[in-house]
Amino acid sequence: MGAHAKVLPYLRLVPLVLLLLFGISFVWDFPGVSLTLFGYTLPLEGLLLVVSVSGLIGFLTNWLAITMLFNPRERRPIFGQGLIPAQRDRVIFRLARAVSEELINEEIIKQKIEESGVIPRYREMALGVTRSVIEDPDFRRDLKRLVAEYLREMLGSEAMRQKLTRFAVQKIEAYAGEGASGLALRVYRFLNEADFQRRVEKAVDELPHSVDTALDELDALLDQIPEKIEARSEEIETWATRVVLGFVENLDVYGMVASNMQQYDERKLEQLIKNTTNEQLNYIKYLGGVLGFFGGLVIWQPAVALALFGTVGLLLYGLDVLLYRLRHEPDEAAAS
């Protein structure tokens, strides 16, 4: 709870006390009473009326000024419109710019990301999850089953077998080359093309039966994945950082805040401002009554009141300076 919030419950009593004094002044207001101090006579008659009226004027002036910030919400023929509703677009512009430049700008977001260490932390978390999943026997079994089903389905397709046959023939020809091996292959195909095609097609037809044998090697490949990822973890972290910072650089904070606030009507905008400043506004409003009360004392006895307030003010200022120095001297000594 702030200092203002602690004082507010007492300040709320100020207008009631002033009204009470104002009412009493009509019945009794020190009639014929005077006070003598250091040989100086101070007539007290009319004191209650002066200080109560001055205090009420101070309170009502501040209350009216704060009320006129927000009311009337809609423009009226005589009373016009409240300051904030009338300057709605300007208020939104100022608030959005203050948020985007001072509170949530690009540099602040980057600094918080770097200070938090969130990217290295999530890198380690992702690596741990990856290792846990890959080492899970159920995951490996399901993965092998899905891969086997997919390969058998693909290899069982006539179109796919034809593509594989053509691919195998091309690879055999490329491997044989143009030398003696290539010449022997061409002679063999010239003399027995049908047998050549039959052998290639037979090898392709046997591929579905070799899937399980091939998948036995999948475990060794899966075992290498965490090591490969960990070996390149620094590169992954750098890439992730670059992606996140790139996103931040393209983030239009001002545009987001402004577009969101443009949807606020006068009442909602008023509520937004009051939610953040209501305590301070109430403090100012009730403090006006206190200051008005002391102003009434100046009206009542200008010389005495000003001398008294000046003396008290100087004493309070000196005490404040002394306490401030006493509070900060240990910190300065420790720093040096």
Q: Are 49 and 65 in contact (CB under 8 A)?
A: no
What is the rounded average pLDDT of the residues 87-94?
80
Residue 104 DSSP label: S
Q: Are 82 and 97 in contact (CB under 8 A)?
A: no
Half-sphere exposure of 312 (CA within 13 A, CB side): 7
Q: How confident is the model at residue 258 (pLDDT cuts 50, 70, 90)?
A: confident
Q: Is the pLDDT of residue 236 over 90?
A: no
Choice between 10 and 333, residue whose per-residue pLDDT is larger: 10
Give the integer Cα–Cα distance in Å for 231 and 135. Answer: 18
* 13-22, 101-110, 195-204, 325-334: which is most confident: 13-22
Measuring CA to CA, which residue among 69, 60, 78, 70 is closest to residue 18? 60
Q: Is the pLDDT of residue 209 over 90?
A: no
Backbone φ and ψ for 132, nearest 5 degrees, come out as -65, -40
Give the integer Cα–Cα distance in Å for 198 and 295. Answer: 114
Backbone φ and ψ for 45, nearest 5 degrees, come out as -65, 130
Q: Cα–Cα–Cα angle for 247, 240, 109, nearest 5°?
A: 45
State the pLDDT at residue 211.
Answer: 59
State the pLDDT at residue 56.
Answer: 93
Q: Are 45 and 30 in contact (CB under 8 A)?
A: yes
Q: Is 267 helix (H, G, I), strand (E, B) or coil?
A: helix
What is the rounded average pLDDT of the residues 124-153?
76
Q: What is the mean pLDDT of the chain?
A: 77
Give the integer Cα–Cα distance in Å for 29 and 22. Answer: 10
State the pLDDT at residue 21.
Answer: 92
Give the integer Cα–Cα distance in Å for 153 and 323. Answer: 85
Of the ranges 128-137, 212-221, 268-277, which one carries the lowest mean pLDDT score?
212-221
State the pLDDT at residue 93.
Answer: 81
Q: How confident is the model at residue 59 (pLDDT cuts 50, 70, 90)?
A: very high
Pairing of strands 34-37, 40-43: antiparallel
Q: Are 253 and 104 in contact (CB under 8 A)?
A: yes
Residue whose token pair is 């998948």: 215
Give the integer Cα–Cα distance in Å for 250 and 233. Answer: 26
State the pLDDT at residue 229.
Answer: 72
Give the integer Cα–Cα distance in Å for 196 and 269. Answer: 83
Taking the domains of the chain in order of start, what are their residue ranges? 3-102+265-331
| Helices within the chain (DSSP H only) | 3-11, 13-27, 47-70, 83-86, 88-98, 106-116, 118-134, 137-155, 158-176, 180-205, 211-215, 218-231, 233-249, 253-262, 266-300, 302-335
Give the integer Cα–Cα distance in Å for 286 and 13. Answer: 9
Half-sphere exposure of 110 (CA within 13 A, CB side): 13
pTM given for the model: 0.57
State the pLDDT at residue 40.
Answer: 78
End-to-end Cα, the chain, rounded Å: 33
Q: How confident is the model at residue 60 (pLDDT cuts 50, 70, 90)?
A: very high
pLDDT digits over 263-275, tens only? Answer: 777 777 778 777 7
What would you measure as the largest C-alpha separation in the chain, in angstroms? 144
Of the ranges 42-51, 77-86, 176-185, which one carries the lowest mean pLDDT score?
176-185
Structure tokens at 220: 């060794």
Give the integer Cα–Cα distance in Å for 275 and 263. Answer: 18
pLDDT digits over 166-196, tens only? Answer: 666 666 666 666 666 665 655 555 556 676 6
State the pLDDT at residue 224.
Answer: 74
Give the integer Cα–Cα distance in Å for 178 and 185. Answer: 10
Q: How confident is the model at residue 207 (pLDDT cuts 50, 70, 90)?
A: low
State the pLDDT at residue 110.
Answer: 72
Q: Is the pLDDT of residue 57 over 70?
A: yes
